[in-house]
Every structure is written in structure tokens, then in C-alpha cells.
Amino acid sequence: MGTPHNGADKGDIARTVLMPGDPLRAKYIADTYLEDVKCFNTVRNMFGYTGTYKGKRISVMGGGMGMPSIGIYSYELYHFYDVDAIIRIGSAGAMQDDVNVMDLVIGMGACTNSSYADQYQLPGTFAPIPDYGLLEKAVNTAREKGASVRVGNILSSDVFYNDRTDFNDRWKRMGVLAVEMEAAALYMNAARAGKKALCILTISDHLYREDSLSAEDRQTGFRQMMEIALELF
């Protein structure tokens, strides 16, 4: 039986899931890279597919926008569908001057302004980090493919249109490479479940310059990120 957010039966989903935010990007990955594809979810149009890539069984599913959304989908995958690893592949806005549009950023840590960790009632501040084995392999794979890759702290923000004009400046001063909206919740869900997670990002725009990807460049840049993620298993 499925969940309120996922129509899949147990066994329909592979142990490894690639998770873009956009469900249509999940469909693109399935159509472009996977063989013997079956759609396992259409609930709320959050499409999910399972197929094979170079003989390996892999699933891809949209995760939506923001930590509440990816928090729900990743929790259910880890706890109800026996998923071992989720790799978020998404876009981000660059903060540092030496991070450029089209660069790949791999989240070695995920700062956040979210209260997501409050549920764990920890006696301190939790530092959300990915699985090191996935991180190391992703960095090596990206370099082998000639990608421009940066590894470091990212920011998972609850707010896209922030009323505080100095918000980005304060995180930039702390060396944060880029901002997105999901990784911290994914990393926390993985930690609590004893599972694996990683976030790989393509820089689609720069917060301090006019640089941004065209539609064609966005497709090319995201394709490189997708192909790196697919090679991790």
C-alpha cells in the first residue's frame, strides 16, 4: 500500500533514488537515461519512476520546493520503502565571488535558518552533513568528467524572498558557497534514519552579479550533474 503522498507499493522503488525538485525533471531523467522504466507515482503530480542505468536499478522522483516538501518525500522513502540513499540534484544561487554560473557545488554541510531540527529536541545545534562515501565518489567523478566543482558549506533557506536585506551578506561572510532550499532537511532525515544522502547542485544564477543560465545552458549544466549522480552507484 502507498502513503498519502506516494502511490508506490513496497518493492516498486529502488534502494537508490535521485531527487530533483521539479517532477518534470524527474521525468526527463527517466526518459533520457533509464531503461525499462515504470512510473510508480503520480500523486500530486510528483512523478516517480524506476528503471535501470547501466544494469543498475535506480529510481528518480521529484522532491518539490522547500524543506517541508523534501522532508515528507525523503522520510517516506527512507522509512516506508527501504530506500538506502537519496541524492538531491538541484539548482542554487552562488554567494561567493569565485563561484560561477554552471559550476557544480557539492554540499559538504548544510547551514539553515529552518527550525526543522527542533523535532529532535537535541541539547545543542545539529550540523547536517552528507554521507562521506557518496561525497568522495561524487567529487572524484566530477573531476574525472572535467567538471568545475566546488565542495563546502551551502545554505538551505526557508525563505526565497527575504525581507532582511542583509540576509545573504551575513552568510557570505561565513564562507557559504551557495543557497538552495532543501538539503538540510534531507541530510537530517538521512541521519535520523541511519541512511545516506548527498546534495549536488548546479549554479544557475549569482546573487551578487547579473549572471544567470539561459534555458539552453541550464539544460546542459543540469545534464552534467545528472550524469555524475547516476554514476555514484
Which residues form the catalytic set?
205
Can you give the C-alpha Rg of the chain in angstroms?
A: 17
Axis crossing angle, helix 132-144 with helix 215-230, rounded to the nearest 10: 120
DSSP β-ladder status, 35-41 and 48-53? antiparallel
- Spatial contact of 80 and 1, defined as CB atoms under 8 Å apart: no
Q: How far is CA 32 from CA 23, 88, 139, 154, 227, in A?
A: 14, 18, 23, 29, 11
- Spatial contact of 155 and 111, defined as CB atoms under 8 Å apart: yes
**What are 80's three cell numbers?**
516506508
197 phi and psi, to 5 degrees?
Answer: -150, 155
